[in-house]
Amino acid sequence: MMRKIIIAPSILAANFLKLESELNAFNKIENMWFHLDIMDAHFVPNLTFGHPIVYQLGKCARHPLDAHLMVDNPTFYINTFVGYNIHNLTFHFESTVHHDSLIHNIKNNYPSVGISLNPCTSVDVLPDYLLTMVDVVLLMSVNPGFGGQKFIPYIYSKVEKLNLRREQLNAKFQIQVDGGIEESQAADLIQRGADNLVAGTYIFSSPPYDARISLLRPNS
């Protein structure tokens, strides 16, 4: 059976002056999410976009919204993004010590919950009971904060290790990888067990976007 691979274009790399038509360019493509990088200039040095833009994107997007919180205070965003039509909400493991509480807060208010690890954070920090609670584990393949960075190769072994643990636990979470992904990395990541790939620069720097997405998942 062919595995379903989701591609999640990172809106950070889109043309912000025509966001609606940028989103509409993906309307005919299947198995896609729109990845929204929410940065607060504290957890990461950079600042992106916040509530007014996310709200408008939620009204016009024809694919599920995937919000990636890179913020010091995830609880504020979890509470205030309710009603914004977000499908998956991911927070960083490193941004809190209250993992169980945040997971339950998201589960109570959104269809899907994700937890993210910085490149140097080992997958061993995630206990089995957490892995059975979440829908997405996001492995960062660049240091969070900026689009257009270079993929960090040791992430391949993290994907393999997480995939093995998923099999052992018979858990259902998706393995999402984010940062610096082009077609060569995509094939290696999918082969090792990744099923959800975020790509910004690679997709938006070279239209037509559907051709780029086909190159990221050639066999699916």
Binds ligand DX5 by CB under 6 A, chosen from 22, 40, 135, 178? 178
Write down the catalytic residue from 40, 135, 178, 195.
178
Q: What is the DSSP letter of 106?
A: H
**Residue 200 binds to ligand DX5 (criterion: CB under 6 A):** yes
Q: How far is the CB of 110 from Zn ion (least distance, A)?
A: 17
**Residue 68 binds to Zn ion (criterion: CB under 5 A):** yes
Q: How far is the CB of 182 from ligand DX5 (least distance, A)?
A: 8
Binds ligand DX5 by CB under 6 A, chosen from 179, 196, 212, 217? 179
Length of the chain: 220
Contact 220, 196 (CB under 8 A): no
> Is 100 annotated in the active site?
no
Contact 180, 150 (CB under 8 A): yes
**Residue 209 binds to ligand DX5 (criterion: CB under 6 A):** no
> Is 188 annotated in the active site?
no
CA distance 10 to 12: 5
Using a 10 angstrom Cβ sphere, with 0-12 exposed, 13-18 middle and 19 or more buried, the burial of residue 66 is: buried
**Residue 74 binds to ligand DX5 (criterion: CB under 6 A):** no
Binding site for ligand DX5 (CB under 6 A): 10, 12-13, 35, 37, 68, 142, 144-149, 178-181, 198-202
